[in-house]
Amino acid sequence: VGSFLVIYFMFKTMMITYKGIKIAILSDENSKRITIPLKQSLTFQLFFVLYGLTGNPLYDMNCYLPYLMSCVMAWSYYVGHKSRFNR
């Protein structure tokens, strides 16, 4: 049950990041300023998931802390633009 919750939130965060990139590209205001960090966030999230297939990234602080920061970047954009995500 616990691993299912972790995997669910990992993929939910990746989907929110992907939707955020699409929304930022469609909006005209400062799209590069927003899309570049979101793309970096998605890239590191994918790295973390793929590293999880062979190792245990949850106990590797050099990998886990940047992953948490990349998740926070995506969630903060989601919270700030929640009305755009519901379309």
Q: How large is the average pLDDT for residues 26-44?
A: 86
Measured between alpha carbons, how far is 4 from 86 in angstroms, rounded to an integer? 25
Average pLDDT of the residues of the chain = 88
Number of H helices, E strands in the chain: 4, 0
Measured between alpha carbons, how far is 20 from 60 in angstroms, rounded to an integer? 28
Three-class DSSP category at 51: helix
Measured between alpha carbons, how far is 47 from 73 in angstroms, rounded to an integer? 16
Percent of the chain residues past pLDDT 70, beyond the cut: 97
Q: What is the pLDDT of residues 8-21, one digit of tens each?
A: 999 999 999 999 99
87 has a pLDDT exceeding 70:
no
Could you tell me the pTM of the whole model? 0.84
What's the chain's length in residues?
87
